Amino acid sequence: MTRTISILGATGSVGEQTLDLVRRNRDDWRVVALTANCQVATLAAAAREFGAEIAVVADESCLADLREALEGSGIEAAAGRTALCEAAARPVDLTVAAIVGCAGLGPTMAAIEQGGTIALANKEALVSAGEVMTAAVSRHGATLLPVDSEHNAIFQCLQGGRIEDVRSITLTASGGPLRLVEDLSEVTPEQAIAHPNWDMGAKISVDSATMFNKGLELIEAHHLFPVGLERIRIVVHPQSVIHSMVEYRDGSTLAQLGPSDMRVPIASCLAWPARMDTPMAPLDLAAIGELSFFAPDEKRFPATRLAREAAEAGGAAPAVLNAANEIAVEAFLKRKIAFSRIAVLVERVLADGNHPDAPRSLSDVLMVDEASRRRATEMLELA
C-alpha cells in the first residue's frame, strides 16, 4: 500500500538520506511536501523527481527562483514561515521533521496538530518546547517517532518492555573530532565539522564537537522517555557502534548496534512498526575489534553539564540554552568567536537570570527563543 510523506528540511543531511530510502522504495511512497531554506536547485530537482505536490522555501526572497525552477511541472511553489507551516499541516501518513534548529518548531507543531505520525529529527524543537510539544502530541493523537540515532536506539530497545521497568538509559557519544585535542581555543571551523564517524551538517557537527549535541539529546530523551533525569546517563563511545542502551530492573541491558549511517534510524521510522531493507552492509564486529567507553570530560566539554542543569531548572531554561547555543555556533562558524567560547557564552546567558516565564504555548516558546537570541547576541558583541 502506498503511503504519503512530507519531508521538512529535504535538502539537509537527514532529508537527503530520507529521499534516498524513498527512491529505493518508490512504489511504497507518494511525496506530498518538500521544504528547504533557500536551496532552490536541490529542492526543485527533488520535487520534480518525486512528483511532490508542493515545494516550499523558508526564505521568501528565493520564491521567484523556485517558481522558475518548477515552471511547467505543475508543482506548487510557496515561501515563508506561514507557507512552511501550511505545507506541514497537509494530512500525510508520515512527516519527517528535519529542519535544523528552532526554525523547525512551527512546522513540526503544525504537523503534530494534523494528528499524523511525525519522525522527529529536530531535537532543538523538543528541547525548546518539550512540555508544549508533548502535550500537543497527546491532545491531537499524533505519534512521535525519534529519528536521532540515540533516541531511535532507545525506542527500539524499549519495544516489548515497559517504561516503569527501566532502571537507566545510557546515551552514547562519539566524543567528536576534538576529544583528544589539547588546545581547544585554536580549533577552526574546518576541524570542528570534520566528524570521524558521522556525515552531518555544519551546525550539528559543531554541536557534536562541543558535546552540546549530547546535551540537547539528554533533554530530548527526558521528554521522550520519562524515567527521570537522574536515570539518563551519557558515556563516550568513540567507535559509534552502540547507539544507546536501556537497563531494566532485573539487570538486563539491551543495546542497539549499527553502522554510523542515519539511513538506519530513518528506515526504522519509515517502516515502523515493521522493518525495511537498507543499503547498509552487515555489521562486522570482528573487523571492528573492540568497543571502548569513557566518562565525559565535563571540565573540557561542559555542554552536557549545562544541559543537565537547564533540564533540572526546567521552565524556559532549556529554550534559553538552545537559543544561546545556536547564536554561539553561528558566530564560531563565521570565525567571530573561538571554539572554546561557545560554552562560555551559553553559560553566561543561562546565568543572566533575566529569563521569561516557562512557555505554555508555541508563541511563548518563540518569544523565549527570540529574547534569548537577542541577549546572546548582546553578550557576544560585548565580549
Q: What is the pLDDT of residues 32-65, one digit of tens each?
A: 999 999 999 999 999 999 999 999 999 999 999 9
pTM of the model: 0.92
Q: Is 251 annotated as a binding residue?
A: no
Q: Is 12 annotated as a binding residue?
A: yes
Q: Is 299 annotated as a binding residue?
A: no
CA distance 26 to 100: 26
- Looking at residue 48, its pLDDT comes to 98
Q: Is 148 annotated as a binding residue?
A: yes
Q: CA dihedral defined by 265, 267, 270, 273, rounded to 10 degrees? A: -80
Q: Is 214 annotated as a binding residue?
A: yes
Q: Is 174 annotated as a binding residue?
A: yes
Q: Is 195 annotated as a binding residue?
A: yes
Q: Is 124 annotated as a binding residue?
A: yes
Q: Is 175 annotated as a binding residue?
A: no
H/E segment holding residue 247: strand 242-248
**pLDDT single digits (tens) 207-226:** 999 999 999 999 999 999 99
Domains contained in the chain, CATH given:
3-146 (3.40.50.720), 149-295 (no CATH), 314-383 (1.10.1740.10)
Cα-based distances in Å from 324 to 178, 184, 215, 336 = 21, 20, 13, 15
Q: Is 213 annotated as a binding residue?
A: yes
pLDDT at 345 > cutoff 90: yes
Q: Is 122 annotated as a binding residue?
A: yes
Q: Is 11 annotated as a binding residue?
A: yes
Q: Is 354 annotated as a binding residue?
A: no
**What is the share, in percent, of the chain residues with pLDDT greater than 70?**
98
- Looking at residue 359, its pLDDT comes to 84
